[in-house]
Each structure stands twice: as C-alpha cells, then as structure tokens.
Amino acid sequence: MDLLVDVLDPPLFDPFYSRIKDLVTDYVCLVDSPEGIWEISDREIPYAAALRHGICDIIESTSFWDRQSIVRQYLSAMAITMVLSTLFFFICGSICYYLYFDPAFKSHPKFLKNQVRQEIRESMLSILFVSIFTAPIFVAQFRGYSKLYASPEAGPGDWYEIVQFPLFVIFSDTGMYWLHRMFHLPLLFNTMHKGHHRYIIPTPFSAYAFHPVEAYIMSLPAHAYCFALPMSKFAYIVTFVVTNIWSFLLHDNSDAFHTVHHKNVKFNFGQFLHSWDRLGGTYQDPVRFFSPRRSGQSIKQPE
C-alpha cells in the first residue's frame, strides 16, 4: 500500500489535500467570509472562540496535511482500499461469473430471486466497512510496525523468498479455519454468518457478501502474517491478490470442496487447504458428498 501511496501522492493526493485544506480553511476559519460557519458572534456561544481557534490551529497546521500525517495516511489508505476493492470486485467477479458460473444453476429451486443483486449490494456494504477498518492496518505498516521489507537483501535470506509463500498459506488458513468455525457457533451464525449461507447456490458475486463485521474479522489472518513473521512487500501484494481471486473461485460452484460447505454447513471450513478439516473432523469428500450412492450412505442435505 505504501508503494501505491508514494506513486499517487504527487499527481493526485498532494493537490487534493491542498485543495481540501483551502476549502476547509475558507469555510471554517475565516470569520468574515460569507461562506464561513461562524455567523454568530463568539460572545453568544460559550467557548466558541476557543473551539474555533483550536480547530483552525489543527486545520492550518502544515503537519496535519503532510504526507507523514497519520490522518492523511489513513484517509489515503481508506480511499485506495475502497476504490481498488470495488474495481476488483466487479472486474474479477464478472470474469468468474461469465467464464465459470453455469447459468443453469439460476434455474435451481434454491437459487434466490434477485440473488446476484443481493450479493452485490451486501458486498458493497462490506467493502465500505472493511475499507474503513482495514486502513489502520495499512497505516501501521506505513509507520514501521509490521515486518514487511522492500528487497530480498532486507529479508532473512534468499531461501525465505520462496518459503514465505507456503508459510503464509499455512498461517492464514489456520486463522481462517478457526474463525470460520467460530462464526458457526449458534450466536454468531444466527446474527452474522447465516446471511451468507442463504446463498446455497452462490455466484462469484457472493465472495464478499458477508456481514460487514464478519468480513473484516475474516480478513485479519491475511494481514496478520506480516506483523507476526517477515514478509516481502512483493509477497504481500501477490498473496493479497491471489487470496481475493481465490475467494471468487470458491463461490462459482466449480470448487467442489467449498460448494459442499454451502450445501451443508457442518463440513469443509478451510480456505486453501483441507488439513484443518481433516484434523478437526469436519472434512467431507466432495465426490462422496455429491455421489452418495457410490459409498452406499446418504448424506442429509440442508432444508
């Protein structure tokens, strides 16, 4: 994220924040300005003068609008996250929908009326919420609290440039598996996760269609790795993109493993791997699940 901010600062954010500063200064701080909000005398509102001076001191401070300002870093990170997430959602979701999603599924009795529209609406709300609360994570990275590094020379060694990828998969899959199971506890399932599971026949547009709080919490393992273990900025970008693409592919019904989970909420909680499902007793073989006659045992489907 810091690399992207550095690129966008000169052509976009520098003039934008400069303009915002001028507008806010004219509107808030110039008492005699016809556009000003201080139309009532300071004498008529207790502490109005002190409040005005305090606000204007902050607004007119160069450090408040400086590139290193924590407020500016937060606003920039939030804006970039929101815009890129929205673009990514519609581009990747559309590609997966038109290339991989079988239109015949829309005739399935479990496919909801106006389902795609509902998925998109819920996803937009989640993107907004997650962007607001993910921005502080990026600010923490900007300010050196993570273990991200820019070049292989700054990392543990050349060997780690490869090893960090499987480590990330194991780390994030562990977190996502247990968080996913947590959201299947009765209280959390009924208040948050149940909404996602009404899409028994999901489309790729349901990849982000979660309760906003749940969506944010489920995203944390992917961000947490670089705070727990060293990670190159290149690897962070790659894993971030791949993780999001994988979320779309999980919901186009071509991935039988996760499709099982949408048809029976007791099985297959993993994101990337099957390991924790096998260890936790929640693994269900998709072939056996969708072809119960082969094993001579029927598997109950949800009502």
Report phi then psi at 108, rounded to 5.
Answer: -65, 140
Q: Both tokens of residue 135?
A: 């921005």
Paired strand residues for 231: 148
Q: Are residues 91 and 44 in the same domain?
A: no
Q: Both tokens of residue 152?
A: 């292989």
Q: Are residues 203 and 102 in the same domain?
A: yes
pLDDT tens, the chain, 303 aa long: 888 888 899 999 889 888 888 887 777 676 555 445 555 454 555 566 677 677 777 777 777 788 888 989 999 999 999 999 999 999 999 999 999 888 888 888 888 899 999 999 999 999 999 999 999 999 999 999 999 999 999 999 999 999 999 999 999 999 999 999 999 999 999 999 999 989 988 899 999 999 999 999 999 999 999 999 999 999 999 999 999 998 988 887 777 888 889 888 999 999 899 999 999 999 999 888 887 644 444 444 433
Task: Kindly give, in sequence order, each residue whose CB lies less than 8 Å from that of residue 17, ignoring residues fewer than 6 positions away.
Answer: 65, 72
Q: Are residues 231 and 269 in the same domain?
A: yes
What is the structure's pLDDT at 292? 61
Q: Are residues 78 and 172 in the same domain?
A: yes
Q: Are residues 15 and 116 in the same domain?
A: no
Task: Let me know if residue 300 belongs to a domain.
Answer: no
Task: Let me know if residue 206 belongs to a domain.
Answer: yes
Query: Structurally, how many domains does the chain consist of?
Result: 2
Cβ burial 209-226 (10 Å sphere, 16+ → b, else e): bbbbebbbbbbebbbebb
Task: Let me know if residue 192 belongs to a domain.
Answer: yes
How many Cβ atoms sit within 10 Å of the Cβ of residue 204?
Answer: 27
How far apart, in whole angstroms, are the C-alpha atoms of residue 110 and residue 257?
19
* Chain centroid, CA 248 distance in Å: 13
What is the structure's pLDDT at 300? 43
**Residue 73: how many CA atoms within 13 Å on its side-chain side?**
18
How many Cβ atoms sit within 10 Å of the Cβ of residue 299?
Answer: 16
Which of the 8 DSSP states describes residue 302? Answer: P
- Asked if residue 110 lies in contact with residue 189, where contact means CB atoms within 8 angstroms, the answer is no
Give me the domain span that covers residue 181: 70-285
Residue type, 260: V
What is the structure's pLDDT at 150? 93
Q: Are residues 265 and 152 in the same domain?
A: yes
Which of the 8 DSSP states describes residue 43? Answer: G
